Structure 1
């Protein structure tokens, strides 16, 4: 049935989004020139020489009794391509994931992370920690501690709903990870902001009076400040133990025993609705 619908689905996508280009033009601003690529040649020339996709491996943390550490798992129907690879991972204790993350980041290699950022953690300070909310002090009793991570997965109280690119790690005196962080957006310098603001005002004056131009420039400048003041997300180890599920990391930083399990262990297929496959939906 899937094969018979491919042509129909492709037609619908083309009508709604447009026909995918066979090639595209990339503006290379640093060298003030342009280059024309197809998707494949773009990968071969711009990505493959600097980033080895085949060298990345996926490690997961599923503490449910039904899951075994050291075993490989894959998610049924998780490929977005015909005959493509299924989403797969090797299940490991959280201590292994934290160790691998710390080694990778210390060497300057970023880590992809799948996690569960629940509503109570979506605050403005960008800190994910179990200690940011002291419910026991407010209510006089423990809150949210009745279920551990495995039970929350069993009862669908947690699932992988967010992916982050982790780029930083902080270690203690014993070189154990304390917290991790995502990249902070680079804020524009005042000189750049002032230049852009002046150009925006000049363009506006050509079509509207000076009062409207100043208003428009002020709004534009405020929007620029808002988008340029990117805030990093800090992920404490206590939070990761409860709400992190999977990482993708360079194989160089994975212990040899884990790599052997990735290569040799058989893979068990999980249904698409399994909590470990929730990020796909």
Structure 2
């Protein structure tokens, strides 16, 4: 094996200087950086933000300095049915309400997992994984489904935003410090009975509840909601529970919803369902479960739902080849082959295997542009980063980008080819906690 010595460095320098393009490009990169120097302005012509098929949607929302994208996108998907039920042009659910329950339930899930692994060595990979980020903002659809089923949902006015719902970093930091302390208390406890350890957990969980209530406010057990409909008629919904509100004004059968993923790695055959160990929010809820299908099946289900007027929750790797200000996700967004000097060669499976890509962000498909043969050209995306980026908060995704960086969707089972649904009746394959398909949408 050769070391980096002067002869090696001299050869590198000579090779670099022999290509005059390097000198020209280096000036631009020094001035504005690789990304701006690589932007392909021609890509703007491909994305006119006009789509052949669209669904209803509400006004653009803003998750601010929090990782609640999965909540915002799920509630933005649900609110379309609420808008129809209430006869209003737009509507927004309280993301603070679901944040409260997510933090409390994640804390409980974490402490239960610490009890279950009490006999593991302190330095084991499982313990290190559990302690790494016990109460982060991120999540996946199945985790949110459990929250909706147990706690329902409320209008934004019933539990408005607070400083820490919109700015979760310090709250997460404080909760994590305490949960790691409580994990120590459980692991160092001389108690051996499960009941005694659970009693210890209950005491510590109250302390988390205390912090959350101070930061996010008291959650409503019942509330009254007043509004005017499209015809300016006044309505009052009195003394309703969050669960009853969700059931009446969203009306989803959560058991009919299914998560489809596309993970083309050799260890995850298509047509099987998967779960991830130690991943969840509601301890007593049905475990996370998704079916791995070819990307064409993912697209077909999404198109079926959109054509039927239903937005589609999805999870992707949003930071890849994306123009955030323009709101464009396209494989040709940057000419890195010209500025770096070569293209990138990992395929989708290899990116998952080598840690180059995973699900990072959740949004909503609210439209698709189909060609004359019914094939998708680009996808209309509702984001939750406010209205300053994209087309007033709307993003445009090329179909080729969908192929490479979209990993998960949630749709009603009726939009999925029956041959894939058979996986739900077969044994579920358990993935390790650190598997890339256990990644959470958190941007």
**TM-score relative to the length of structure 2:** 0.50
1:142 and 2:345 matched? no
Q: Contact conserved, 2:325 with 2:388, CA < 8 A, in 1?
A: no
2:235 is aligned with 1:33: yes
Provide the rounded CA distance (Å) in 2 between the counterparts of 1:174 and 1:15.
56
Describe how 1:53-202 pairs up with structure 2 within 5 A. 53-118=254-319, 120-139=321-340, 141-145=341-345, 147-183=346-382
Does the 8 Å contact 1:116/1:159 carry over to 2?
yes
* Alignment check: 8 A CA contact 1:71 1:90 kept: yes
Change (3 A) 1:123 1:19: closer
Displacement of 1:231 in angstroms is 3.4
Q: What is the Cα deviation at residue 246 of structure 1?
A: 0.5
CA distance in 1, matches of 2:356, 2:215: 35
- For 1:226 and 1:232, the matched residues in 2 are separated by 10
Aligned residue number for residue 428 of structure 2: 267
Q: Given the alignment, which residue of 393, 401, 407 partners 1:239?
A: 401
| 1:112 CA drift (Å) | 0.8
Q: Compare relative contact order (CA 8 Å, sep 6+) and give the higher one, 1 or 2.
A: 1
Contact 1:75-1:87 at 8 Å conserved across structures: yes
Alignment RMSD:
2.6
User: SS at 1:179's partner residue?
Assistant: strand
Moved more, 16-25 or 153-162: 16-25
Count matched residues.
238
Counterparts of 2:242 and 2:277, CA distance in 1: 27
Q: In the aligned structure 1, how far is the partner of 2:206 from the partner of 2:383? A: 42
**Structure 1 residue 226 displacement after superposition:** 5.4
Work out the CA distance in 2 between the residues paired with 1:225 and 1:237: 23
More strand by share: 1
The 8 Å contact of residues 115 and 160 in structure 1, kept in 2 or not, is answered as yes
Q: How far apart in 1 are the matches of 2:374 and 2:333?
A: 24
Report the Cα distance in structure 2 between the residues aligned to 1:25 and 1:93, rounded to whole angstroms: 45
For 1:144 and 1:126, the matched residues in 2 are separated by: 22
Unaligned runs of 5+ in 2: 1-110, 113-197
Q: Which residue of 1 aligns with 2:27?
A: none
Q: 2:247 aligns with which of 44, 50, 58?
A: 44
Structure richer in helix, relative to its length: 2
CA distance, structure 1, for counterparts of residue 422 and residue 388 of structure 2: 47
CA 255–95 in structure 1, closer or farther in 2 if over 3 Å, else same? same
What is the TM-score when the length of structure 1 is the normalising length?
0.76
Alpha-carbon distance in 2 for matches of 1:239, 1:118: 12
Please tell me whether the aligned partners of residues 109 and 250 of structure 1 are also in contact (alpha carbons under 8 angstroms): no
> Helix, strand or coil for the counterpart of 1:100?
helix
Q: What is residue 220 of structure 1 aligned with on the other side?
A: none
Q: What is the CA-CA distance between 1:245 and the residue it aligns to?
A: 0.6
Q: Deviations over 1:130-176 (max 9, x none)?
A: 0121222444x43222x111111122111111101101111122211
2: CA distance between counterparts of 1:102 and 1:16?
40
Provide the rounded CA distance (Å) in 2 between the counterparts of 1:240 and 1:125.
Answer: 17
Find the residue that maps to 2:286 and give its secondary structure: coil
**CA-CA distance at 1:69 after TM superposition:** 0.6
1-side partners of 2:434 and 2:387: how far apart? Answer: 41
Matching residue of 2:213: 14
Equivalent residue for 2:417?
A: 255
CA distance in 1, matches of 2:394, 2:343: 28
**Aligned equivalents of 2:242, 2:416: Cα separation in 1:** 31
| Aligned residue in 1 for 2:439 | 278
Is the 1:76–1:86 Cα contact (8 Å) retained in structure 2? no
